[in-house]
Amino acid sequence: MRIGVPKEIKDHEDRVGMVPSLVHELAAHGHSVTIERDAGKNIGITNEDFAAAGAHIADSADEIWASADMIVKVKEPQAVERKKLRANQLLFTYLHLAPDPAQTSDLIASGATCIAYETVTSPAGTLPLLQPMSEVAGRMSIQVGAQYLENAYGGPGMLLGGVAGVPPANVVILGGGVAGTNATLMAVGLGADVTVVDRSPDVLRRIIANFGTRVKTAFSTQATVAKLVGGADLVVGTVLIPGASAPKLVTRSMLKTMRPGSVIVDVAIDQGGCTETSHATTHTDPVYVVDGVTHYCVANMPGGVARTSTFALTNATLPYIVALANKGWKQALAEDAHLRNGLNVAAGQITHPAVAAALNLPLLASDRALAA
């Protein structure tokens, strides 16, 4: 199979879809890998590193999009990239289609087969290709939240962990999944007063088992969320429904109860965000203020630590990319129901139930897509 890896073009996105060890693995299986020149430059992977592993180096993205059977990326294709997709081409990357009708329409029109990292599942019911980036984003959420509580960044001048005789900041984490757990780990480590909110008693029990009395837990209801948000210095939103739009847990009216200079970090922004006032921002222009509350809603947070994120992601994607290349997408998905859950677009239709429901579009069952 001819596999292409273009350089990412989203704002401040320096991650890359493959590292040299993955190129070497694919070459050993007889596949051809082409990497766009300087795709790994900003994370310390040179063209020579890729070439030594067996990759061809392309001088332009056009060359890759025109020749590859499978495109491997990190972020969803931007509008200019979607115009280069063609029928019978396979795209394997993060897509996050539920809050993005424009991208969805373009992918349907392209005739390409699109498999989304974020909806691939595991036998344990986890999301193995989303998990490493959720770990990164969860940890980063506390770092950036602490920064925007500083005076220099428009905050009230609060140290997250406080000092002797001065109380720490009150941190409320909405969702106790992978991102929420990693946010909790960082917030506890910095000495904050932390409350984790979730609708699953089992998740709350796991949080208590992991962190003990250093963390408070609360069952999620509208009244509980409103009360906790009103007293929070930093709110971290991490709620996730695979493939679907994130629920809006924090309403506009709740912001009016928060102290001026408090911060919301919406990790769920890739799926539309879990705050009514959230909209996607970039690393270049990461925040905005609504009712005195600073919102950080960068849609590719892990791109801010691109080297760490690239290696964490490609460690997870390797077996799936090899399977798709060795078997072709139809056989690979027919043999692996969990990889099949990643199928979002095929034969010009939506193939993931949550995406179809979120966008009110017809659904083509994945088994029918394989038979098409």
Q: Please tell me the distance from the alpha carbon of residue 70 to that of residue 58, in angstroms, as a whole number.
A: 15
DSSP assignment of 41-70, as one string? GGGT--HHHHHHTT-EEES-HHHHHHH-SE
Angle at 178 between CA 297 and CA 127, to 5 degrees: 100
Burial degree of 264 (CB within 10 A; 0-12, 13-18, 19+): buried
Q: Which two tokens stand for residue 97?
A: 């289609």
Catalytic residue among 31, 96, 295, 338: 96
To the query of whether residue 11 is one of the catalytic residues in this protein, the response is no
DSSP assignment of 164-227, as one string? TTBPPPEEEEE--SHHHHHHHHHHHHTT-EEEEEES-HHHHHHHHHHHGGGEEEEE--HHHHHH
Angle at 19 between CA 15 and CA 25, to 5 degrees: 150
Residue whose structure tokens are 């020749």: 67
Burial annotation 292-315 (CB, 10 A radius, 16+ → b, else e): ebbbbbbbbbbbbbbbbbbebbbe
Pairing of strands 113-116, 56-58: unpaired
Catalytic residue among 14, 270, 336, 352: 270
To the query of whether residue 12 is one of the catalytic residues in this protein, the response is no
Residues with active-site annotation = 96, 270
